[in-house]
Chain A
């Protein structure tokens, strides 16, 4: 399977704490993207990091990418109850058009 893996599978934290999710992938990539899915809904694009970038920020989101280890992390700072959702990383293998999604992390932020 080309599917990437994410850990942890589930994460429960208190509001105000930081949440870190990790993603590993298997192939060479052009970029890596993170998506969020609220329960029973479609996915929403959060942030994209290119293969030549190591870190990227967007609001309370911080993404890192280590292409040598084929891994990425998503950090959500000062979490809020509204951040409760599933988070997926997605990659497109070089030379293809297919998006491969990781297994996802279910984040629960307790108020």
Chain B
């Protein structure tokens, strides 16, 4: 089945630094990947849609300059949290759409927990 690898799984950084999270589709090509943010005991909030070879599409209220998304190949999308602050601490999850029995389902990475001190 489709596998998405996401790393790092945990990262702790100082306020003001930038953090990059990678999301790779291991056995399929993903022209579109999605980045979500999740707060404790809450649902997933779609941040942006990453399209291979073009600019990401950001959801309303998500700062483009804060959360830089790059999708340079069909198997890799990266999310960079720039100048991170404590309020950026969260669980970030990427996913890619893969076909299953004629419909698209999401395959998720294991998530990255970011803690900004």
Q: Contact between A41 and B110 (Cβ–Cβ < 8 Å)?
A: yes
Q: A71 in the interface, Cβ–Cβ < 8 Å?
A: no
Number of interface residues of B (CB under 8 A): 26
Residues of the A chain whose Cβ atoms lie less than 8 Å from the Cβ of B49: 97-98
Q: Contact between A43 and B103 (Cβ–Cβ < 8 Å)?
A: no
Q: Contact between B34 and A42 (Cβ–Cβ < 8 Å)?
A: no
Q: Which of B43, B109, B111 is the one whose CB lies under 8 Å from A40?
A: B111
Q: Contact between A35 and B106 (Cβ–Cβ < 8 Å)?
A: yes
Q: A108 in the interface, Cβ–Cβ < 8 Å?
A: no
Most buried by A among B34, B44, B105, B107: B44
Number of interface residues of A (CB under 8 A): 25
As a 0/1 sequence over residues 22 to 33 of chain B, the CB contacts with chain A under 8 angstroms (1 = contact) are: 000000000010
Q: Contact between A40 and B91 (Cβ–Cβ < 8 Å)?
A: yes
Known contacts A48-B100, A98-B49: does B106 contact A43 (CB below 8 Å)? yes
Q: Contact between A99 and B113 (Cβ–Cβ < 8 Å)?
A: no
Assembly CA distance A27 to B101 (angstroms): 23
Assembly CA distance A88 to B100 (angstroms): 18
Contact sample, A vs B, 8 pairs, CB 8 Å cutoff? A30-B103, A31-B103, A40-B111, A44-B108, A45-B100, A45-B106, A92-B104, A97-B49
A-side residues, CB < 8 A to B, are 3, 30-31, 33, 35, 40-45, 48, 50, 88, 90, 92, 97-104, 106
B-side residues, CB < 8 A to A, are 4, 6, 32, 34, 41-44, 46, 49, 91, 93, 95, 97, 100-101, 103-111, 113
